[in-house]
Amino acid sequence: MTNLEKYRLEHLSKSTQVMLFDVEGTFLESCDSLFNTEELNDNPLHTWFPIAGNIIDTLKAVDTNTELFFPRVEDPADFLTGIYDFRFVRIETSENSKLLVIISDFTEIYDKYRYFQQQYNEVRIEKQHLEVQLSQLRQQGGQS
């Protein structure tokens, strides 16, 4: 393994969890980077994450390696709070089809984005307010 590969894996392991399910949604394995799957592994995927409810049927119908991407999913489960990107992919292995679920924690990034978006909106509102005041002052100045 190269140094770059090592750093990539270290970085991804802090913010991304990769899980494998059979095509019916039965849990097979996980890297447990974001949450421990030990207590959940007897339950099907859709009970872990309601977002996965209809996705399993869709993934069965799509071509292999087709990715369904759901960005900015907030608080996707009782045991997982924050803002995450979800990727669902049907893959083929030597044995059969499987579902690959990739969850990336972008809570910090999306929180900062939301904060800066709010700041931007407030500045725009203040700008509009000041433009109205300026217009009123100009009208008052012209009437004197």
**The two structure tokens encoding residue 16:** 């991304």
Say yes or no to pLDDT of 5 above 80.
Answer: no
Other C-beta atoms lying within 10 Å of the C-beta of residue 88: 24
pLDDT averaged over every residue in the chain: 88
CATH architecture, domain 3-105: 2-Layer Sandwich (3.30)
The pTM is what? 0.78
pLDDT at res. 144:
55
Say yes or no to pLDDT of 143 above 70.
Answer: no
pLDDT at res. 141:
80
Report which DSSP code applies to 51.
G
Q: How far apart are CA 68 and CA 95, in angstroms?
A: 23
Break the chain into its structural domains and give their ranges. 3-105, 108-144
Beta strands in the chain (DSSP E): 16-22, 27-30, 67-74, 83-92, 97-105
pLDDT at res. 6:
72
Say yes or no to pLDDT of 73 above 90.
Answer: yes
pLDDT at res. 99:
92
Say yes or no to pLDDT of 47 above 80.
Answer: yes
Least confident of 6-15, 36-45, 79-88: 6-15
Say yes or no to pLDDT of 115 above 70.
Answer: yes
Of 60 and 138, the structure prediction assigns the larger pLDDT to 138
Report which DSSP code applies to 78.
T
pLDDT at res. 1:
67
Rounded mean pLDDT, 65-92: 93
Of 106 and 57, the structure prediction assigns the larger pLDDT to 106
